Amino acid sequence: MKRLNFLTFWTTTMPRRSLAVCYLAATILLCVAATSRSEDAGLAQELTAKGAKLTETKGVITGFDLPNPTTWSDNDFKKIGQLSQLQRLSFGIGLTNHQLSLLIHLPDVSTFTTNGSQLDDDGVRQFAHFKNLTVLTFFHPSRNFTGAGLADLADLAKLEGLSVGGSSVFGNEGMKAIGKLSHLRNFRIWHCKIDSQGLAYLKDLPDLRSIMVSYDPPAPLDDHALAILASIKSLESVTLMESRLSLAALSQLRQLPALTHLTLNGIDIRESDVEKLKAELPRAQIKWVMPTPSDMKRITATFDRK
């Protein structure tokens, strides 16, 4: 018996009336899709003219980058919200709580990046509406952002990556909130006001795989932090930045059974100690970047005054 493919079988056995209905439905869907693409194209032209940068994937606008949202009106933000298939959003200096509230209905947003936003802790809680959010980044957040609002994102099952950098107020309170994000796998923090006590809040994260950390004075990343990192057994990748660390402290990382990558970026340590560390951590790929003169000036000022 000659084998029929599914489409042939389906179209030859289905009643003519049902087949006609299906063709009509398919035609309507194609028309709707074409209309949607046409509308998106018109919006894209309008938003690009106002300074936005858009990314298209297979004819659909999936990425939106706005370096300066301060001059955009509520109506402008509502137009962003009409791009219903956006997956990646990025905003430069000035994004406010209210502007964010005009976007929270977007269903597919997975990556959200801010740089110099005016979001405060209440505003940050709005990210809980983005159920598909996977990666969230705060560069140079406002002075009203302590990080406490991040605790409200604990139910976002897909949130795996978080970065916070360049804040004079983000400290241990924010780290305590991050300790509640049980799905977190990748975390980066630098130039913030945390210390080893804040870092300890990460010990309760069950699946943290990667961490990048750098403290700011007066509590620099020091040997005490290494004992805490060594207790987070799920870690596979560790990046330490802009500090002075001893071989004895770094050797504690051999307690991490899954460690495969260790990056020492701008770490003041003797080259001979780096070679010894490589021998002590044979399963890990170790990369050491010597401190620059500006790094050394900062490190010396921090550690030599203690």
Per-residue pLDDT tens over the stretch 146-178: 999 999 999 999 999 999 999 999 999 999 999
What's the confidence (pLDDT) of residue 25? 52
Pairing mode of beta strands 261-268, 237-244: parallel
Confidence tier at 304 by pLDDT (50, 70, 90): confident
Query: Two tokens at 217?
Result: 């004075």
User: Would you state the pLDDT for residue 38?
Assistant: 54
Bridge partners of residue 261, in order along the sequence: 237, 285
Over range 114-140, report the average pLDDT.
98
CA triplet 208, 211, 215: central angle to 5 degrees? 135
Single-letter code of the amino acid located at 208: L
Least confident segment among 91-95, 99-103, 136-140, 213-217: 213-217
Where b means 16+ CB within 10 Å and e means fewer, 249-288 reads bbbbbeebeebeebbbbbbbbeeebbeebeeebeebebeb
Per-domain residue ranges of the chain: 52-208, 236-306
Give the predicted TM-score (pTM) of the model.
Answer: 0.86
Nearest to 113 by CA among 145, 130, 134, 88: 88
Distance, CA of 44 to CA of 35 (rounded, Å) = 14
As a whole-number percent, the residues of the chain with pLDDT over 70 amount to 86
Residues 6+ apart with CB under 8 A from 76: 47, 50
End-to-end CA distance of the chain: 88
The conformation of residue 29, written as its DSSP 8-state character, comes to: H
Decide: 82 and 43 in contact? Cβ < 8 Å.
Answer: yes
Model confidence at 23: pLDDT above 90: no
What is the C-alpha separation between 1 and 4, in angstroms, rounded? Answer: 9
Tell the CATH topology of 52-208: 3.80.10
Query: Mean pLDDT throughout 272-300?
Result: 95
- The answer on pLDDT for 24 being more than 70 is no
pLDDT for 301 equals 86
What percent of the chain is helix, strand and coil (3-state, nearest 5)? 40, 20, 35
Instruction: Show the CA angle centred on residue 181, arms to residues 177 and 184, nearest 5°.
Output: 130
Token digits of residue 219: 């509590």
Predicted confidence (pLDDT) at residue 5 exceeds the cutoff of 60: no
Q: Compute the average pLDDT of residues 97-113.
A: 98
In the predicted structure, residue 285 carries a pLDDT above the cut 90:
yes
Asked whether the beta carbons of 136 and 127 are under 8 A apart, the reply is yes
Task: Report the SS3 class of residue 172.
Answer: helix
Averaged pLDDT for residues 78-106: 98
Strand order in the sheet with 111-115: 53-57, 60-66, 88-91, 111-115, 135-139, 161-165, 186-192, 210-215, 237-244, 261-268, 285-289
10 Å CB burial of residue 47 (0-12, 13-18, 19+) is: buried
